[in-house]
Amino acid sequence: MNQELAEMTLREDGSSGEPLPDAVPVPRSMLPHLSETAILLDIDGTLLDLAPTPREVWVPPGLAETLKGLLMRTSGALALVSGRSLNDIDLIFAPEQFPAVGGHGAEMRLSIDSEAVASHAPPMDKELKRRLAAIAKLSPGILLEDKGYSLALHYRLAPHAEKAIYEAVSLIRADLPNAPIEVLPGKCVCEIKHAGFNKASGVLELMKHEPFKGRRPFFIGDDVTDETVFAIMPDLNGLAFSVGRRAQGVAGHFDEPRDVRSWLAHLLDDEQGR
Ligand SMILES: O=P(O)(O)OC[C@H]1O[C@H](O[C@H]2O[C@H](CO)[C@@H](O)[C@H](O)[C@H]2O)[C@H](O)[C@@H](O)[C@@H]1O
């Protein structure tokens, strides 16, 4: 077990009687550390249950309030870290807004009342985008998500098309070997984005600024794209937790997004009960 994590009490603090996932610090043991902690949370598959399409995700009652409460208790050091654009994140959580790293590190907002302070995302070349977008015509059910600086081809409704999508993307890349792009495999999605940033670069940037600066990050994520953040946690003296599977390099894992939500609610309850 991670030595740092071992310093926190593991499993069962007994306050609610609910079992907690293995190897996740019990909320009460984090209380003394909240003023030194930055809570960083992935969205899809971590905070929210996966849905058939990106538009169908649903924020369960109480979650936005929990996040707002923890944002307050950490003096603003809570941020969403997502592949979604900031606009999309705001639509999902409307009317609430949260500090966030969006678009896999392309965009960042440090506080709820500030504008995005960094955009490392040049718009994707139009011709390239047109060619990538045409891949959606390979099969009914492939959904195109255009984030401006990246393009996602979703095949959750057309799982048989996965191989054809990746092959078509490879052909386009072979045609353009010098294009500064990378392919991100996500959950039933193939995303093509500019190669100059990722979630880890976004988090490193975020952690340079107040109120995040100098705090110990506590990151929860579920996807392949979150692995870049898992990997930098030791450099930031942070802790990473995965969802659904025990990813490499994490200190523990949650089984499902609802366990993450209940853990966060628990953390806030305990803090308020102090
Ligand atoms: O970094 P995240 O916050 O986890 O965002 C990753 C991608 O999430 C969205 O797609 C995924 O969630 C959809 C809704 O559950 C699901 O239908 C899809 O299959 C998943 O890939 C979002 O649409 C992407 O832009 C994000 O990159």
- CATH entry, 3-121+197-272, from 3.30.1700.10, 3.40.50.460, 3.40.50.1000, 3.30.2090.10: 3.40.50.1000
> What does the pLDDT look like over 201-214, one tens digit per residue?
999 999 999 999 99
Atom of ligand 1 nearest to the CA of 52: 17
Q: Are strands 78-81 and 37-41 parallel, antiparallel or unpaired?
A: parallel
Grade residue 123 by pLDDT with cuts at 50, 70 and 90.
confident
**Ligand 1, atom 19, residue with closest C-alpha:** 188
Active site residue 90: no
- Single out the catalytic residue among 22, 42, 113, 269: 42
Which residue's CA is the closest to the ligand 1 atom numbered 26?
83
Ligand 1 neighbours, Cβ below 6 Å, are 42-45, 50-54, 57, 82-84, 145, 152, 154, 156, 186-189, 191, 223, 225
How much is the average pLDDT of 17-28? 57
Instruction: Name the segment(s) of the chain with CATH classification 3.40.50.1000.
Output: 3-121+197-272
More confident position, 95 or 4: 95
Q: Is the pLDDT of residue 21 over 90?
A: no
pTM of the predicted protein model = 0.90
DSSP state of 210: T
pLDDT tens by residue, 168-189 = 999 999 999 888 899 999 999 9
For the chain, give the number of residues. 274
58-84 mean pLDDT = 97
Span 126-194: which CATH code?
3.30.70
- Beta strands 116-119 and 107-109, pairing class: antiparallel
Distance 188 CA to ligand 1 centre (A): 9
Q: Among residues 183, 249, 203, which one has the least CA distance to residue 41?
A: 203
Average pLDDT over residues 101-130: 85
Q: What is the pLDDT of residue 256?
A: 95
Neighbours of 222 (CB within 10 A): 25
Across 61-215, the runs of DSSP E, i.e. the strands, are 78-81, 100-102, 107-109, 116-119, 143-146, 150-154, 181-186, 189-194
- Which tokens go with 209? 């600024």
